[in-house]
């Protein structure tokens, strides 16, 4: 919570984001995505609410439609995939089209790549140079893992699909992100199936509508059980909701 100039409490702003995962290989099942969970966890930890995730193929029209929709709906849009050296890496070109700006070899990105490959004793090939193509007006996102930078244009952060690189890029841009109220959570393990606690749990949600509540069934020691997860930005309110729920369930 934040205090206003008049001394009254004002809620801290909620900052929202979406993640756009780009790649035929994700949709075909050939590659198992690991970025969604990592991005979601990181954003939650710094006070940004990930509201939506979309997965689209390496298709220009689909990428443009998703970029246009998500960047207008949320404070930030993060994308992963499609900025490598091959012909099917079309994300940079497509994002440039979505913003209506030209794309070409960026001198900053080219220097980064030339220095990176020179240090490894490797030549700058046309394929490697392709990764220096950046939309006009974009800022670069540092890639300490493999050199080739991502970029930011407007409120869109374009990152690599390789999980270790995506994570490094996300860490690189974090200091530049506006953050808001962090969503705190409490997990209450219940050694009963959902069907036995559903009515009590539903009634409790009605009493605490400002606290997000979810039930997640599982097997615990081979028997049906539930994990009840409560989320709220207000620590005191969250603790109160959790304590009263435990009492209602006689835990």
Confidence of residue 207 (pLDDT cuts 50, 70, 90): very high
User: Facing residues of 226 across strands?
Assistant: 190, 217
pLDDT digits (tens, 9 = 90+) for 160-202: 999 999 999 999 999 999 999 888 999 999 999 999 999 999 9
Complete DSSP assignment for 20-45: EEE-HHHHHTSS---HHHHHHHHHHH
| Residue-level pLDDT at 11 | 59
Indicate the pLDDT class of residue 212, thresholds 50, 70 and 90: very high
Burial 112-142 (b: 16+ CB within 10 A, else e): bbbebbeeeeeeeeeebbbbbbbbeebebbe
What is the spatial distance between Cα 159 and Cα 151, in angstroms, rounded to a whole number? Answer: 7
CA distance linking residue 75 with residue 95, whole number of Å: 17
157, 138 Cβ separation under 8 angstroms: no
**Contact by Cβ (8 Å): 45, 124:** no
**Which domains, from first to last, does the chain contain?**
11-176 (3.40.980.10), 184-248 (3.30.70.600)
pLDDT at 242 over 60: yes
Give the span between the Cα atoms of 143 and 171, in whole angstroms. 10
Secondary element (H or E) of residue 53:
strand 49-56
Which two three-digit tokens encode residue 227? 């994990």
pLDDT value of residue 1: 33
Asked if 125 and 131 count as a contact pair (C-beta separation under 8 A), the reply is: no
pLDDT tens digits for range 60-83: 999 999 999 999 999 999 999 999
The answer to which of 9-18, 102-111, 146-155 has the lowest mean pLDDT is: 9-18
Rounded CA separation 7/79 (Å): 40
């Amino acid at each position: 919570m934040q205090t206003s100039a008049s001394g009254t409490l004002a809620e801290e702003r909620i900052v929202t984001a979406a993640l756009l995962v780009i790649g035929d290989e994700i949709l075909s099942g050939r590659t198992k995505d690991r970025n969604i969970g990592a991005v979601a966890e990181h954003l939650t930890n710094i006070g940004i609410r990930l509201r939506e995730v979309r997965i689209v193929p390496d298709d220009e029209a689909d990428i443009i439609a998703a970029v246009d929709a998500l960047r207008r709906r949320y404070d930030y849009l993060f994308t992963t995939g499609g900025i490598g050296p091959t012909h099917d890496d079309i994300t940079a070109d497509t994002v440039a089209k979505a913003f209506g700006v030209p794309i070409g070899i960026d001198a900053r990105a080219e220097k980064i790549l030339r220095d990176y490959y020179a240090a490894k004793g490797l030549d700058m090939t046309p394929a490697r140079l392709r990764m220096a193509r950046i939309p006009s007006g974009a800022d670069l996102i540092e890639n300490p893992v493999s050199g080739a930078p991502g970029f930011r244009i407007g409120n869109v952060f374009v990152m690599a699909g390789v999980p270790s690189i995506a994570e490094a890029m996300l860490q690189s841009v974090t200091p530049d992100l506006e953050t808001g109220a962090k969503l705190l959570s409490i997990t209450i393990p219940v050694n009963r199936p959902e069907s036995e606690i559903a009515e009590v749990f539903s009634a409790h949600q009605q009493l605490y509508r400002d606290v997000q509540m979810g039930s997640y069934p599982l097997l615990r020691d081979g028997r049906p059980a539930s994990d009840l997860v409560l989320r709220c930005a207000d620590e005191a309110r969250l603790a109160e909701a959790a304590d009263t729920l435990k009492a209602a369930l006689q835990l």
